Amino acid sequence: MDKLNLDAHISQQFNEELEEIRNHVMTMGGLVEQQVADALDALVNGDSALGQRVVRDDDKVNRLEVAIDEECNRILARRQPAASDLRLVIAIIKTITDLERIGDEAEKIARLAMRLAEMERPANNYIEIDNLGNRVRAMLHDALDAFARLDAEAAVAVASEDARIDREYESIIRQGITFMMEDPRSIRRMLDMMWAARALERVGDHAKNVCEYVVYLVHGTDVRHVSMEEMEREIRRGR
């Protein structure tokens, strides 16, 4: 199997093009990470102005996705990359799609935050959402770090966090249903909170996808739709 070596090209310009496109992905990742953090803060703190800023800045994420996609298409047309170089371009195209969708989820949370800011706040100040959000933010950060370092083992470890996020999300949904049954007046607020939790859970799913692309990039193996045990076995085989 071809080993990943992004500095072994005859053309120095090709090296620079690949490095530049990776840097652009990390810039997009940083922007998306900030969008998620700001959307969560807007919800937990009832900050409508911050929520509006997140909604407004979603266009920046969309423009970055288009620009990076165009760069990848130019490289495919001009360089006709093979082996690990081709895997890199493919992984980048897939990664920016997931990053754009994370931006969309952040926008959803921000819009919900703006609506929730107008309602009576719960006594716990949305602590369940805050806890879930902080776990999701950490997972996204670590997924982007694994991508930046091309660290497949770290990517697998980060991907395993998705199961914990799913369990925490399911717990929030159960609590929300209980609250609505006990106090019908809370239905609208609880539904919005549950939609926000769903958006955070989806961010975790997209972060896991990024981790899977890292494994594909480093080892050349598609680990989508396989169990964590199978993913871990693949990493051990690729060492």
pLDDT single digits (tens) 134-156:
999 999 999 999 999 999 999 99
Mean pLDDT of 15-23: 89
Task: Report residue 233's pLDDT band, with 50, 70 and 90 as the boundaries.
Answer: confident
Q: What's the distance, CA 228 to chain centroid? A: 18
Q: What's residue 237's pLDDT? A: 67
Q: What's residue 203's pLDDT? A: 98
Mean pLDDT of 101-112: 98
Mean pLDDT of 49-63: 97
Q: What's residue 75's pLDDT? A: 92
Q: How many CB atoms lie within 10 A of CB 139?
A: 24
Whether the predicted pLDDT of 3 surpasses 70: no
Task: Report residue 120's pLDDT band, with 50, 70 and 90 as the boundaries.
Answer: confident
Q: What's residue 92's pLDDT? A: 96
Q: What's residue 228's pLDDT? A: 72
Q: What's residue 182's pLDDT? A: 92
* Cα 194 from Cα 210, distance rounded (Å): 25
Tokens of 167: 């369990």
| CATH T-level assignment (fold) for domain 12-238 | Methane Monooxygenase Hydroxylase; Chain G, domain 1 (1.20.58)
Whether the predicted pLDDT of 230 surpasses 90: no
Q: What's residue 4's pLDDT? A: 56
Whether the predicted pLDDT of 5 surpasses 80: no
Tokens of 204: 């975790």
Q: Model's pTM, two decimal places?
A: 0.90
* Cα 92 from Cα 137, distance rounded (Å): 21
Average pLDDT of every residue of the chain: 90
Whether the predicted pLDDT of 11 surpasses 70: no
Q: Element (H or E) spanning 203, and its range?
A: helix 187-219
- For 45, 68, 79, 113, the CA distances from 24, given in Å and listed in that order, are 31, 7, 19, 29
Whether the predicted pLDDT of 186 surpasses 90: no
Angle (CA) 88-93-96 rounded to 5° is 115
Whether the predicted pLDDT of 1 surpasses 50: no
Q: What's residue 81's pLDDT? A: 85
Task: Report residue 12's pLDDT band, with 50, 70 and 90 as the boundaries.
Answer: confident
Mean pLDDT of 103-111: 98
* Cα 183 from Cα 120, distance rounded (Å): 14
